[in-house]
Amino acid sequence: MKATLLALLTIALGLVPAAYSQSMVEYSNLGVHAAKPLAAPLPVIHGKKVADPYGTTKGPMWQEKNARVKDQNPAPPAPPAVFILSSGERLESADYVMTKDTLRVVQNGTERTIPMSTLNVNATVAANRQRGVQLKIPDNKAQMTLSF
C-alpha cells in the first residue's frame, strides 16, 4: 500500500512542473493578439478581395530589409586576415580565434597557437585595414575575435 501511494505521489509531483510549463507556452502569446481579434480569411467577391474588416496589415507580415533578389549573385568572400609577427613573419588565414593571450590560426589544415605578445598589433591592424578586413584585437579576457 505504501509503495503504491509513493508511486502515485511521485507521478503526480512529476507532472506538476510539466503541466505548468505547458500552460506557460500556451498562454505566452495571448498579449500579442489581445488588441485585435484573430484574423479570418478575407471574403472574396468575383475574384476581388473585400476591404480588410480587421485592420490587419496587407502583404507579407515580415520581410528582411536587405533581402537579395533571386537573380543577384552572392557577394564575394572577404579576403583572409593577415597577422604580422614581431619577427616579420606574415600569416594569412580566414580561420582564426583570437583572445587577449593567444592567436590560434589554421593554415592548410594545420592549427598553430601563437602568443599575442609575439604579434605586431599595429602592423597587423594596418595590413588588414588595407585589405578591407575589420580586425578587432581583444583588449581583455572577456573578449574574443573569431573567423571561420
CA dihedral 52, 53, 55, 61 (to 10 degrees): -40
Residue 104 falls within a domain, yes or no? yes
**Is 78 or 141 the better-scoring residue by pLDDT?**
141
Residue 13 falls within a domain, yes or no? no
Q: Which residue from 74, 76, 79, 77 is spatially nearest to 135, judged by alpha carbons?
A: 79
**pLDDT score, position 101:** 94
Number of domains in the chain: 1
Query: At 87, which CATH number?
Result: 2.30.30
What would the 3-class secondary structure string for 92-104 be? Answer: EECEEEECCCEEE
Residue 124 falls within a domain, yes or no? yes
Residue 28 falls within a domain, yes or no? no
Cell 601563437 found at: 114
Residue 10 falls within a domain, yes or no? no
Residue 106 falls within a domain, yes or no? yes
Residue 55 falls within a domain, yes or no? no
**Is 94 or 55 the better-scoring residue by pLDDT?**
94
Residue 5 falls within a domain, yes or no? no
Helices and strands counted in the chain (H then E): 3, 8
**Average model confidence (pLDDT) across the chain:** 74
- Confidence tier at 115 by pLDDT (50, 70, 90): very high
Q: How many residues can be counted in the chain?
A: 148
Beta strands 81-84; 102-107: pairing state: unpaired
**pLDDT score, position 29:** 47
First to last CA, the chain: 62
Q: Which domain holds residue 128?
A: 81-147
Indicate if the pLDDT at residue 97 is higher than 80.
yes
Question: Mean pLDDT throughout 48-69?
Answer: 56
Question: Mean pLDDT throughout 43-62?
Answer: 54
- Confidence tier at 73 by pLDDT (50, 70, 90): confident
